[in-house]
Amino acid sequence: MKRRIMLPLALSALFLAAFSAFAYFVGQQPTKGTVRLYLSTDCPVAAKYSPRIQELARTYSGKGIRFEALFPNALESVDTVAAYAKERGYSFSVALDPGGQQARRDGITMIPTVVIFDAKNRMIYRGPIDDNKTEENVRRSYAKEILDKLVAGEDIAFSEVPVELGCMLMAGDEAAAKPAPVTYAEHVAPVLYKHCTPCHRPGEVAPFSLTSYEEAKKWAPMIAWATENKRMPPWKAVPNYNRFLDENHLTEDQVRLLKSWAEAGAPRGDASKEPAPPKFEEGWLLGKPDMVLKIDRPFKLEATGRDVYRNFVFKTDFKETKWVRAIDVRPGNRTVVHHVIAFLDERGQSHSLEAKQGDGQPGYSTFGGIGFLPSGSLGGWAPGLQPRFAPEGTAFELKPGTTIVLQVHYHKSGKPEEDQTELALYFAKEPPKRALQLAWIANPLFRIPPGAKDHVVRMRYPVPVDVTAYSAMPHMHLLGKEMKAWVEKPDGTTEPLVWVKDWEFNWQFVYYFQQPKKIPAGSTVHVEAHYDNSAENPNNPNNPPKPVTWGEQTTDEMMLLIVAFSVDNLPAQGILNNLRNRVTERRGGQ
């Protein structure tokens, strides 16, 4: 029996350098075929596929299939590739592909891509490993289908599946950059520093940095693709349909500029004209908090699977009401913390849910909501959003004995992770003039039939008193496509609230209005939501599609708009309880 030689990290680095494009471990000579994986150490989709890649290698290495992985992108190094492979437990060959020479010969344009060769070294498959980056949603496992035939000794004709999810090949220039008027120094750097670098920097949630020309040049093709396809920046509100704080969308001119720069070879221009990289404050941005909440031990996150919504429960012991003017969040592990929302539980329901979880970890898990209708919320955090104090004279009420439920949305990195996110509270020194409230505008009485590609659910919410609105947060699940909300005033005029035209469950924001909106009594808030319950929806959790109604689970749906408001001409202590959670009879079509 041949022995497999396992190399330590330092020796692996030397090994990679010596065999930069075709290194392999002794004892893995091909007998029936070869799987060549094209990966990148900073592509989040490649990282998410790590457990599936491990499983492929475990299943087929003993059946005469040899595995190897090449890393063709610019700025990869021997050390980072070796560390990446060790961290993910890859026991097969890994190597650099300098300049992407082999990748180009193999026709690679996206990462991750798998290429399969038969025993005669004929390419028989090129494409993705399977049909969905979320393992639970996979319907076809292309690589396994080919490998099963290969192991069985079948004669296989070449087939290809386009790679639609991943990162573009960014191996560097094949030729000198073309002359172009658009340069990094004068045109691109200001756009990236404003819209991208707040998340794309060391220690933040984005998987790679955009803090220098070298980094931006490497990622130029991906930047052009992601911005042209509206994948980045992840700002979902339609521009100019209302105006918001922290708006982060690109103009069409900026999108064209980034594409032109990438197509021209990403020229730098005069480096002396580059703006200084932005500086970011460390610590609590609003100053020393009045209280910091933190779980007593790290929450442990598995390497693979669906995103996790974990709810951490904090019982307060205040003897009197506190008024919260602001919150701030400090993620313990920005690699996996996607966003955070702080909910209020005045009835203690979260404690029983935590007790029932029974997995030995802090908190409890849900999908989307927190398992019950909360008493209120203190706001949330997402990468790129700045903490702010509430408008002058307003604050959220935190009653004695109220439990704070901190919901953290985690997305998995392809390896085990830990997190201890912290929540900071800032209290008002005296009761505010007006209490901030939340209107939970919901229609729970819908049924989305299977196969419906554009099912519409509507809601009308009458406003009984004069109010001032400060923010709006749409919420749907995986079938959601679009949500639009506006106010119809008694005189017939309309006022836009928010319009999310390209809903994505993983990018949910609280949209804070640039200017508070005065809404007179007798107005009506209109909400219209669209859903796709067809088999063509790659996010559909049901295969085949089934009828879907309101619920908390992954396979359920919601139609909810949360609006922060205060009642005009009414002191904070006089807010009527029945203004909270007011859900009126649904009107309109389903």
Q: Do domains 281-430 and 433-590 have the same CATH topology?
A: yes
Q: Convert the pLDDT of each residue in 80-117 to its tens digit.
A: 998 999 999 998 989 899 889 999 999 999 999 999 99
Q: Which residues contact 355 (CB under 8 A, 6 or more apart)?
A: none
| The predicted structure's pLDDT at residue 173 | 65
Integer Cα distance of 526 and 179 in angstroms:
52
How large is the greatest C-alpha to C-alpha distance in the chain, in angstroms?
86
Q: Which residues pair with 17 in a beta bridge?
A: none
- C-alpha of 68 from chain center: 30
Q: Which amino acid is at 416?
A: P
Of the listed ranges 291-300, 506-515, 520-529, the least confidently predicted one is 506-515
Tell me which residue of 60, 37, 69 sits closest to 150, measured CA to CA.
60
Integer Cα distance of 361 and 359 in angstroms:
6
Q: Convert the pLDDT of each residue in 39-83 to its tens digit.
A: 999 999 999 999 999 999 999 998 999 999 999 999 998 889 989
Q: Which residues contact 214 (CB under 8 A, 6 or more apart)?
A: 75
Residue 163 near residue 110 (C-beta atoms within 8 A):
yes
Q: Convert the pLDDT of each residue in 574-584 to its tens digit.
A: 443 444 444 33
| The predicted structure's pLDDT at residue 177 | 37
Domain 281-430 part of CATH 1.25.40.10: no
Candidate CATH numbers 3.40.228.10, 3.30.930.10, 3.40.30.10, 3.90.79.10; the one for domain 9-168: 3.40.30.10
Domain 433-590 part of CATH 2.60.120.230: yes
Q: Convert the pLDDT of each residue in 425-452 to its tens digit.
A: 999 999 999 999 889 899 999 999 999 9
Residue 209 near residue 201 (C-beta atoms within 8 A):
yes
Give residue limits of the domains in the chain.
9-168, 184-273, 281-430, 433-590
Tokens of 7: 């190399």
| The predicted structure's pLDDT at residue 455 | 98
What count of residues does the chain have? 590
